[in-house]
Structure 1
Amino acid sequence: MIAFTLLAVAAFQPAAGQSFIIKDLGALPGSFNYSNALGINERGQVVGYSLTASGNTHATLFENGVVTDLGTLPGGNYSGAPAVNNRGQVVGYSTTARGNTHAFLFKHGVMTDLGTLPGGNFSVAAGINERGQVVGYSSNLRGYVHASLFENGVVTDLGTLPGGDESEAFGINNRGQVVGYSTTASGYAHAFLFENGVMTDLGTLSGGGLSHAQAINNRGQVVGVSSTASGYVHAFLFENGVMTDLGTLPGRNYSNAFGINNRGQVVGESDTGTNPYSPHAFLFEHGVMTDLGTLPGDNFSEAVGITESGQIAGNSTSHAILWTRER
């Protein structure tokens, strides 16, 4: 594990239409300033990946102006970190000495291989709760990829929706509810909620054929993306058995939700109608979707996670960034 202190704290810029400040979180030395944020916890620790001087991506922790290389599993050359809990436990994926990709847990300065389903050779960890339960996906003996729970040294297959053969899990809350997507008998992927040993199909927006669930808060609210009757894909919020279309930025046709906090604030990305195609990060609250803008000179952004205090982690073109509301 190698830590580097930033020489400069990059640019601060008010986000479009909102009283937010955007902070560039920096990157590992020699990376041509390339980094990507994938998750954030309530302590403001952001995780993701950054290029190293050798040109490989390594799992990275961004905290208090310091960019820390979390390394790889022994013999590996690349890694990434999608999630971190409030205890500072980080999960993700790394190549191994054999060239396979395996899920990992990083805590107390040590990266541990979480293994795979029996007979599998591939796994990814995508989410972790405060109990240390980890979810993601793994190949199995037959070569299919299934949503998986990694806990106490055991990898558990969460199965698929009826008739499906593949599934992936992306989020888990403190109640142990898991969300992701699974193929169905129709061949389309549908968002699922897994709890008490049962995987439930969350369906799609009206007229849609496919959906993915990507995050869940402790209230059981689920966000993700679904196709619509018009053929476009929109961000959704699922609660109390109902999937609601969150719409898009004004006049556009694409949106995708990646994160939700316990206050019900949702973040993601939406088309802005610019040419070339350049989605912008959004914050959805009180029924309104707001464009969070980009770093100066950039034309793309996305928001991947939001804390209870409203700090938002995401990316602006090739930079991991943090939006903080001005007080």
Structure 2
Amino acid sequence: MFVIVTAGMRLRKSYELQGNVRLSPVTRTPPRESPYHHACASYLWSVTLSERSRRFAVKLLGTRPRHLKSEFGSAHCFDTPRNDYTVHWLTSSAFATVALTLVSASVFAAPLGGTQWQITITDLGVFPGNLGSQGFAINDTGKIVGTSSAGVGSYTVQWINGLISAIPVYSRSGSSIPKDMNDQGEIAGTLVISSLMNQGIYWDAQNNPFPLEGLPSVSGSQVVAHGINVGGHIVGRAQEGSPNFAGHAVIWNKATFETDLGFMDGGSYSEGYGINDAGDVVGAAGIANGSLHAFVWKNGQFTDLATWGGGLTSASVAYAINNNGVIVGKRANVATRWANGAFQALPMPAGVSAFTAAVDVNDAGDIIATGSKGYPLEVGVLWRNGEPIDLGTLPGGNISRAARINEAGEIVGEAKAADGFFHAVKWTVTRASPPCAGDLNGSGTVDAADLAMLLGGWGGANPTLDLNHDGVVNAADLATVLSAWGACF
């Protein structure tokens, strides 16, 4: 696990790492980095704190604990029967606490905007006897759904209060993938039988599965489900039969066919990917010239998102829409946000390619994606308050992928674990304690900029702005900002 705070970022006096790690012996002491270097050589771990062109780093290495001291600071290594180790590091420049646990990894990081975030990634584990798992959706109650695999075939599973259990499937003839879930626990997903055979599935709140109806009067219609809203309306695609086999964006009311959205601008294909609580649908549709364009369908009408903000473009797809009408997806293969008739290419964390798709957005405006760090490396990405945040990976792994985000800002997906298999994971991202209460942007002063941030999120549940953690941005948080007005000390 490795975190760097670079020049230009706000270096806090403390930060913390926690990790689920498989420790292996270290065969040699790492190279000395004078003057801030100490290592528990040939022991359970080692810690490096280096200063090099105003760059500070903390690394974990090694195999067994030991106590060290020096004129620059001290390291304390504690051995316990629980395999729980902690090192406290003190220097004239920084203080770091490193704690290894068996469940999750947590790190403080500062993205481009300078705000510091505490990122915790939790390995959700696998179904007993399985090798890997994937997290696909999380609702506001904290329930998570996904799959768990033994290598051949898979289980459809849920995690409730950290416990994994299998849920029923409509058929064992393929893999049942739960793609989205509402707060009632209703699930939309797809039974994948083969690359050419799919059956959309609706699970009710008791996890009973039902097949989604195909297009009327079409025998053997192929059906795929992508999203579900609070009312149990599902969006996806249903396919015509011979001779055209064209895909239609469709809305279902639970398992019952409700609306065929049809096609846009003379095209012959459409697919719905996201639906908000008002029933607005986003997705992609082919137009007359063969191009694929993102759309929003509202009040029975298509709007071509390629026309927002300056004319037509290359292929675009919209994957999600929140209850404020903010849409996310990709435009010219770049992660994109659409709102109020305009589009924005999303900035990326350092070292992460912009060529990706934003896949989900909550009502607070938090957006998620999976970005490339150069094949085959991938990492989950979060945008919060417009800042891009690298979500990191599990200890010993080098790939993570984000799938869904709930209103509390909790994210689910998958990450490669130290054993080489992908495990379902959950991220929580919280603001590191600011220099003083009310300093929302980390500027060192509580001022009009912080007040504007708070008022912009009024009534919502943005955890960055909810200073007293009561679940809503309200007058209590405003009082905290006003009482701390002025420079932080």
Contact residue 249 and residue 271 of structure 1 kept, 8 A:
no
Match of 1:19, SS state, is: strand
Question: For residues 123 and 68 of structure 1, what CA distance do their matches in structure 2 show?
Answer: 27
Contact residue 310 and residue 324 of structure 1 kept, 8 A:
yes
Contact residue 177 and residue 192 of structure 2 kept, 8 A:
no
What is the CA distance between 1:298 and its match in structure 2? 1.3
Q: Which residue of 1 aligns with 2:365?
A: 264
Q: CA RMSD in A?
A: 2.2
Q: Which residue of 2 aligns with 1:135?
A: 235
What is the CA distance between 1:77 and its match in structure 2? 3.2
Contact residue 186 and residue 207 of structure 2 kept, 8 A:
no
Question: For residues 192 and 379 of structure 2, what CA distance do their matches in structure 1 show?
Answer: 31
Instruction: Tell me, yes or no, if structure 1 residue 170 matches structure 2 residue 267.
Output: no
Candidates 423, 430, 438, aligned match of 1:319: 423
What is the CA distance between 1:296 and its match in structure 2? 0.8
Spell out, residue by residue over 1:191-234, the C-alpha distance to the aligned partner (whole angstroms, 9 max, x if none).
1101111121111787840111011110110001111xxxxx21
Match of 2:357, SS state, is: strand
Question: For residues 57 and 167 of structure 1, what CA distance do their matches in structure 2 show?
Answer: 30
Match of 2:323, SS state, is: coil
Instruction: Tell me, yes or no, if structure 1 residue 185 matches structure 2 residue 282.
Output: no
Q: Which residue of 1 aligns with 2:356?
A: 255
Kindly provide the amino acid, as one letter, of the partner of residue 317 in structure 2. H
Instruction: Tell me, yes or no, if structure 1 residue 217 matches structure 2 residue 319.
Output: no
Q: Which residue of 1 aligns with 2:396?
A: 297
Kindly provide the amino acid, as one letter, of the partner of residue 334 in structure 2. H
Instruction: Tell me, yes or no, if structure 1 residue 307 matches structure 2 residue 421.
Output: no
Candidates 127, 148, 155, aligned match of 2:250: 148
Question: For residues 249 and 208 of structure 1, what CA distance do their matches in structure 2 show?
Answer: 25
| TM-score computed with the length of structure 2 as normaliser | 0.59
Instruction: Tell me, yes or no, if structure 1 residue 12 matches structure 2 residue 101.
Output: no
- CA gap of 1:185–1:10, structure 2 versus 1, over 3 A, is farther
Match of 1:115, SS state, is: coil
Match of 1:37, SS state, is: strand
Moved more, 61-70 or 123-132: 61-70
Contact residue 365 and residue 385 of structure 2 kept, 8 A:
no
Question: For residues 172 and 350 of structure 2, what CA distance do their matches in structure 1 show?
Answer: 48
Match of 1:308, SS state, is: coil
Q: Which residue of 1 aligns with 2:159?
A: 62
Instruction: Tell me, yes or no, if structure 1 residue 203 matches structure 2 residue 300.
Output: no
Question: For residues 150 and 265 of structure 1, what CA distance do their matches in structure 2 show?
Answer: 27
Kindly provide the amino acid, as one letter, of the partner of residue 115 in structure 1. E
Spell out, residue by residue over 1:160-184, the C-alpha distance to the aligned partner (whole angstroms, 9 max, x if none).
2112211211111110001111111
- CA gap of 1:133–1:10, structure 2 versus 1, over 3 A, is farther
Match of 1:289, SS state, is: strand
What is the CA distance between 1:15 and its match in structure 2? 4.4
The structure with the largest strand share of the pair is 1
Question: For residues 75 and 50 of structure 1, what CA distance do their matches in structure 2 show?
Answer: 14
Spell out, residue by residue over 1:41-82, the C-alpha distance to the aligned partner (whole angstroms, 9 max, x if none).
11111222221x472133322221222222321453321100
1:78-89 → structure 2 map (5 Å cutoff) = 78-89=175-186
Instruction: Tell me, yes or no, if structure 1 residue 37 matches structure 2 residue 142.
Output: no
Spell out, residue by residue over 1:282-323, the C-alpha distance to the aligned partner (whole angstroms, 9 max, x if none).
111222111010111111112222222221112213111101
- CA gap of 1:74–1:277, structure 2 versus 1, over 3 A, is closer
Question: For residues 203 and 298 of structure 1, what CA distance do their matches in structure 2 show?
Answer: 38
Kindly provide the amino acid, as one letter, of the partner of residue 36 in structure 1. Q
Candidates 30, 39, 48, aligned match of 2:146: 48
The count of corresponding residues between Structure 1 and Structure 2 is 308
- CA gap of 1:15–1:201, structure 2 versus 1, over 3 A, is farther
Kindly provide the amino acid, as one letter, of the partner of residue 137 in structure 1. R
The structure with the largest helix share of the pair is 2
Kindly provide the amino acid, as one letter, of the partner of residue 365 in structure 2. G
Contact residue 115 and residue 155 of structure 1 kept, 8 A:
no
Question: For residues 150 and 38 of structure 1, what CA distance do their matches in structure 2 show?
Answer: 20
Is there any run of 5+ residues in structure 2 with no aligned partner, and where? Answer: 1-100, 110-116, 417-421, 433-489
Spell out, residue by residue over 1:92-128, the C-alpha distance to the aligned partner (whole angstroms, 9 max, x if none).
11257xx942111112231011121131421111111
- CA gap of 1:239–1:28, structure 2 versus 1, over 3 A, is same
The percent of aligned pairs where both chains have the same amino acid is 32
Q: Which residue of 2 aligns with 1:71?
A: 168
Question: For residues 237 and 423 of structure 2, what CA distance do their matches in structure 1 show?
Answer: 27
Candidates 337, 356, 367, aligned match of 1:237: 337
Contact residue 377 and residue 399 of structure 2 kept, 8 A:
yes
- CA gap of 1:200–1:297, structure 2 versus 1, over 3 A, is same
| TM-score computed with the length of structure 1 as normaliser | 0.87
Q: Which residue of 2 aligns with 1:161?
A: 264
Contact residue 117 and residue 156 of structure 1 kept, 8 A:
no
Moved more, 243-252 or 283-292: 243-252
Match of 2:391, SS state, is: strand
Is there any run of 5+ residues in structure 1 with no aligned partner, and where? Answer: 1-8, 228-232
Q: Which residue of 2 aligns with 1:5?
A: none
Contact residue 15 and residue 292 of structure 1 kept, 8 A:
no
Match of 1:71, SS state, is: coil
Question: For residues 305 and 74 of structure 1, what CA distance do their matches in structure 2 show?
Answer: 25
More contact order relative to length (CA 8 Å, sep ≥ 6): 1
Question: For residues 163 and 150 of structure 1, what CA distance do their matches in structure 2 show?
Answer: 24
Moved more, 117-126 or 235-244: 117-126
